Amino acid sequence: MANQVVETLIEAGKATAAPPLGPALGPTGVNIGQVVSEINKRTADMKGMQVPVKVVVNVATKEFTIEIGTPPAAALIKKESSVEKGASNPLTEKVGDLLIQQVIKIAKIKEGDLLGKTLKSKVREVIGTCQSMGILVEGMTAQEALRAVAEGRFDEEIRLERTELTEEQKTKMEEERTRLRAELDRRKAEFETKAKAILSEMQGQEARKIRAKMQEVGIPQPLIDELAPEAKAEAGAAGGAKK
């Protein structure tokens, strides 16, 4: 009989016999417990991320093979930099920082999906993704890091495919994360103060004008939506007109 293929997305290290995996494998007669155990073993290092999984079952012999895909580069970058999400405005906000070893690690994990022919070119692709997320590399902006790679500054690390961090590097990374969080909190507080001042000054005016003014002074869109959503701004304008 022909093989049956089951493809799904699971949380790494947490596959179970529950949906979506269990019901899909049930009709094949394969030992679901063995499949689940093997998937969790092979995805243990990617815990916390959604991972594409393909299970190919020989219906006659009940033997199976498992192919583990890789999470998107952006998900790997967030994991390595310990951030929940990228910057809302990557041009002005920097939410995390990676060392070159971590960039190399991601490039190696994603090597089958990246376009570059060499590890160095794949590293450049990963740094390009960092740019769109507001993630620094070795304390540099992505553009600066790309220039550093082009100049050969990290050639030795790339040649040796270094992916491990020393304890000293881990400590420095945690210090940098703390600094970036503090900077983000400070900037958010400044933007909140500006936004609230605009709301007070423009009370009673049309919502679109209030939001446009906030955009004009550079307040991030998520904060505008939080402090002055369309409905709230319109209600405030209507209430001001009645007064």
Tokens representing 85?
A: 């999400």
- Cis ω before 20 (30° cut-off from 0): yes
Under the banding of pLDDT at 50, 70 and 90, the label for residue 231 is low
- CATH 1.10.10.250 location in the chain: 73-165
- Please, what's the largest Cα pairwise distance for the chain? 79
Residues 55 and 68: beta-carbon distance below 8 Å: no
Residues 138 and 100: beta-carbon distance below 8 Å: yes
* More reliable by pLDDT, 49 or 139: 139
Span of 40-44, 93-97, 134-138, 226-230 with lowest mean pLDDT = 226-230
Residues 163 and 104: beta-carbon distance below 8 Å: yes
Helix (H) / strand (E) element for 33: namely helix 32-42
Helix (H) / strand (E) element for 96: namely strand 96-98
What pLDDT does residue 127 have? 97
pLDDT tens across 58-75, in order? Answer: 989 999 999 988 888 998
What pLDDT does residue 107 have? 94
- Chain centroid, CA 40 distance in Å: 22
The DSSP output letter for 61 is T
Cα separation, 201 vs 67, in Å, equals: 59
- Report whether pLDDT(234) > 60: no
- Report whether pLDDT(219) > 90: no
What pLDDT does residue 233 have? 39
Among residues 32, 31, 39, which one has the least CA distance to residue 15? 39
Pick the CATH number of 3-68 from 1.20.1250.20, 3.10.20.30, 3.60.20.10, 3.30.1550.10: 3.30.1550.10
What pLDDT does residue 1 have? 55
What pLDDT does residue 88 have? 82
| SS3 of residue 241 by DSSP | helix
Rounded to 10°, the helix 167-201/207-216 angle is 140
Type of residue at 84: E
What pLDDT does residue 225 have? 86
What pLDDT does residue 62 have? 92
- Report whether pLDDT(228) > 90: no
- CATH 3.30.1550.10 location in the chain: 3-68
Phi, psi of 10 (to 5 degrees): -130, 160
- Superfamily name and number for 73-165: Ribosomal protein L11/L12, C-terminal domain (1.10.10.250)
Averaged pLDDT for residues 198-206 = 88
- Report whether pLDDT(235) > 50: no
| SS3 of residue 67 by DSSP | strand
Among residues 76, 103, 102, 81, which one has the least CA distance to residue 12? 76
Structure-derived torsion over alpha carbons of residues 85, 88, 90, 93, reported in degrees to the nearest 10 = -90
